[in-house]
Structure 1
Amino acid sequence: MNFAKSLMLGGAALLVATAGAQAADLPLKAKAVEYVKVCSLYGAGFYYIPGTDTCIKLGGYIRAEYAFNAGGMTETPSWNGSAGQGNRLANNTIYRSRADLNIDTRTATEYGVVRTYFDSVFTWTTGSDTVANGSLGVYFAFVQFAGFTFGKAVSQFSTPWHGSPGNITSNLLGGDDTSTGVNQVSYTAEFGNGVSASISLEDQSGYRWAQGNSGANISLLNVTAGNGSQSSWLSGLGSYTGNSYSAGTSIPDIVGKVRVDQAWGLFQVSAAAHQIRASYYNPANEWSDHPGDKWGYAVLAALSLKNLPTGPGDSINLDATYADGAIRYVIGGTSPNYFSIFGNNADAGAYQTLGLGTAVDGVFVNTGGIETTKAWGIRGAFNHNWNPNWATSIFGSYSSVDFGSTGGALYTAGLRAQAGAGNTIAGNPNFNIAQIGTRTSWTPVKNLTFSGEVMWTRLDQNYSGFTGSVSPGGTKPTTVYQFKDQDTVVGAVRVQRTF
């Protein structure tokens, strides 16, 4: 009995010892690994890239928008092309769906923060894309280091609100708008207390070229009588029929800015020097010679007021710009630089009315020099928050383009030469564009906003009288037209979820 008991106790002891030895051989429970670590150095949304000291933030939005009585997106008025003619070929209701993705990285170094930023969009638009394709856009792609910015970024000339002081349309004229970036090399110095100054060399192409049809560069026009065609002149393109009278870029725009950011708002002044170069008197023949190069310029003053007595978050944004030989700093953004609107309020003897406007850096004639065009514009908005969910903006702009006495006479002579025999055209190519609109937005939950907007545009042109029997192109018949001011209204609805 004692032997059996001893055997059982010994076996139990051996089992316990064996189990203990096996337990000792098992690996200890691993400490939890923090795969994603929050980076609090640069604000909410940043995380450390694993294994590095670089912080990254991903963001973007999904947007659906619908424009009515529009000439294009985004909320383009019906002010040229088929939409300006009011014919049945135009898409008056336009849909657009867009996905935006941006990547922001920052690394602290002995020279300060090294930052990279990339922003791209994938877009499908009525009339531009087919069933299952779309378009890719690169808005921003830049590196910032020790005060320098290299790459595609917002122009140093622009205000923080660009062309949208309170609107969603990308066609509010009267000032600069580079909201999708220009290539540049710039330097910004911070002086403390919200005061900074920047200087920049910026690419002219794109935003600084006067935009004709299909993105053509119509910054300069040879308006010698006989150049162009009836349809080019009556569509607002002047003498442009395919070969550009503008040369390629030689010297980038030289831009400077001083800005003061305070709790009450912002004040900014900017200036730009812009080289003007013609290709040739005959763009297809370099033996035809060319006018000498010139320099244009633009200046801007901007003011933003916050903490208004009308309510929390309310603001007023204003900017005013003057340009001589640098038209895109006033008639800027994604807007075109040629306007041709037809109407049905003609007097007896004419089929329809027509309003024209051409915005270029300058004009010239064979063997002559460049006559620069001057422009000025002002725009702004009052933004009011009714409550945390509802907000309304009232916005507007006024732009004026002046060819001067010599340039105006040259342009008018070119127009008359293509306006048909017996035309009675009087006046000059100077014109004004007035715009006013309102937007209301509803944000039911954070980062989801529904917006509705309507904008009225008036083209106040300085020609009067009748054409001869002419062919304006498009679907318009060959007949007589009368010059008159024109109006158009565009509306839009937008749904956007930001993340």
Structure 2
Amino acid sequence: MKTVMKNVLLGSVAGLAMVGTAAAADLPVKAKAAEYVKICSTYGAGFYYIPGSDTCLKVGGFVQTDYNYLDTSYTPANEQNDTYFLARGAIRLDARTQTEYGTLRSYLEYRLTYGDSTSPSLDKAYIQFAGFTFGKVQSFYDYYADNNVWGIDSVELTSDENATVAAYTADFGNGFTATISIEDDSTRSNGVYDLDFGYSNVGSDLPALVGNINYEGEWGGFQVSGVVRQINDENYDVLNPGSSGDDIGWGVLGGVKFNLNALGEGDTLYIEATYGDGAIEYTGITGSYAQLNTFEFADTYYNPATGDYESATAWTVAGELTHYFTPSVFGVLFGNYGELDVPSAAWDGSVSSMSLFNVGASLNWTPVKGLLFVAQYTYGEANYDAPIEDDFGNLVNSSDFNQVILSVRRSF
């Protein structure tokens, strides 16, 4: 009996030892799995090493819903949706690898927007290496770029556009950089207008040439930018043989940012001015809801009296103040004023020189990290030098709009 019990006990101990050995054998495997995806602290929070590589990846994005109210003075009630909803989701991928030439970075942001229909958009996709940038990115001409003007569907105060670029940025140290960039400006082309043949926009044969000087310091920063671009009038050269005139557009931008931490931690003030000659889309003058729907924007206009093309000019001044009342509640005040000068020979029932302004404010609340609630109101008004026909068939000298946006965004 003792022998039997002894054998049972020995068997039990052996069994437990085998279980313990198996469990112990599992431990290194689990430890390896836990260590396999490692935190990458080189580029800040949120980066992890891609397993089996020396590349660090950050995955993020946001989900946003906007509830909009928009009322324009020039649109019949049965043709206008006073209220409409928009929803947007975005995924951001940021991959970086350290090389002997510096950081190799690739960045992608893909968006899906739902309203009347679903609209996919590759917002940004670019590669950065050794000072070079290739791909779709915020234009190097832009600076303030409507920084805290909120909304999926909101006004544009100044130059703000993504472009596909090939650029080089030189870093001079002490906060100074300079960039030279070749950019596809097809989304900023407004084409040619002719009183007899109407409006045509076929883009340009050559990319735009952009350059800037930028500074970032403790007090804030500034940027000076310039652009030279081609105005394509080939369609009208056939219709108007022997014509000549403006076929090169250009623009300049100057902006400054002040960090106002004495007023509140995170407070900022932006002031920016832009001017465009045959490059009006580089000023933000076309980004308001104040203009009539029938208004024809063009970079250049054909003058039948002289047989020349005459470029339109535009300028804007914009500002934005952000103030934090508490670490989680902040307000934004923004506005702009601009003027568009159209050659007088082109004035008719749909074309005129004009001035406009937009003013707005928002209240923003972040109750927890990554969650933002926004309430924003904007008013805009346009005034025309020559009467313009509105959507009711009336000739008017001004038009305006009111917009309210209630929005919520979850960032991750």
2:354–2:385 CA contact under 8 A, matched in 1? yes
Contact 1:275 1:293 in 2 (8 A): no
How many residue pairs were aligned?
Answer: 406
Matched with 1:95 is 85
Q: Report what 2:132 is aligned to.
A: 148
Give distance in 2, aligned partners of 1:313 and 1:10. 76
SS in 1 for 2:223: strand
Ranges in structure 2 where 5+ consecutive residues have no aligned partner? none
Return the alpha-carbon distance in structure 2 between the equivalents of residues 312 and 20 of structure 1: 62
Identify the residue that residue 207 of structure 2 maps to in structure 1.
Answer: 252
Partner of 2:300: 362
Residue 374 of structure 1 pairs with residue 313 of structure 2:
yes
**Cα distance in 2 for residues equivalent to 1:85 and 1:22:** 82
Deviation at 1:258, TM superposition (A): 0.6
Alpha-carbon offset, residue 392 of structure 1: 1.1
Match in the other structure for 1:193: 174
- Check conservation: 1:167, 1:395, Cα contact below 8 A: no
What is the alpha-carbon distance in structure 2 between the residues aligned to residue 447 and residue 184 of structure 1? Answer: 31
TM-score by length of 2: 0.88
Residue 381 of structure 2 contacts residue 401 of structure 2 at CA under 8 Å; is this kept in 1?
A: yes
What is the CA distance between 1:17 and its match in structure 2?
A: 11
Deviations 1:166-208 (A, max 9, x none): 5447654452001xx21000011111111111010000111x1
**Aligned partner of 2:87: which letter?**
S
The answer to whether 1:411 aligns with 2:346 is yes
Per-residue CA distance 1:336-381 (angstroms, 9 max, x = gap) = 799327xxxxxxxxxxxxxx75432110145822101111101011
Structure number having the greater strand percentage: 2
Q: Distance in 2 between matches of 1:458 and 1:473?
A: 14
- Greater mean alpha carbon deviation, residues 248-257 or residues 164-173: 164-173
Structure 1 stretches lacking a partner, 5+ long: 71-77, 211-218, 228-238, 342-355, 419-427
What's the CA shift string for 1:91-119, capped at 9, x where partnerless? 11010011111100000011111100000
2:334 matches 1:395: yes
- What secondary structure, in the 3-state scheme, does the structure 1 residue paired with 2:346 have? helix
Q: The residue matched to 1:28 in structure 2 has which SS?
A: helix
- Per-residue CA deviation, residues 4-52 of structure 1 (Å, 9 max, x unaligned), is 99x8899799969987996898673441111321000000000000010
Q: For the structure 1 residues 19 and 102, does the alpha-carbon distance in structure 2 shift closer, same or farther, using more than 3 Å as the test?
A: closer
Deviations 1:41-90 (A, max 9, x none): 000000000010000001111101011025xxxxxxx37xxxx3233121
Hey, what's the Cα distance between the residues in 2 that align with 1:452 and 1:23? 62
Q: Which amino acid aligns with 2:60?
A: G
CA distance in 1, matches of 2:21, 2:98: 44
Structure 1: how far apart are the matches of 2:396 and 2:18? 99
Superposition CA RMSD, Å: 3.1
TM-score (norm 1): 0.74
Give 1:308 shift: 3.9
Once residues 320 and 41 of structure 1 are traced to their aligned partners in structure 2, the CA distance between those partners, rounded to angstroms, is 37
**Is 1:383 the equivalent of 2:322?**
yes
In 1, Cα distance between equivalents of 2:46 and 2:210: 33
Residues 29 and 321 of structure 1, relative CA distance in 2, 3 Å threshold: same
Equivalent pair of 1:357/1:431 in contact (CA under 8 Å): no
Contact conserved, 2:135 with 2:164, CA < 8 A, in 1?
A: yes
> Which residue in the other structure is 2:282 paired with?
329
Amino acid at match of 2:299: D
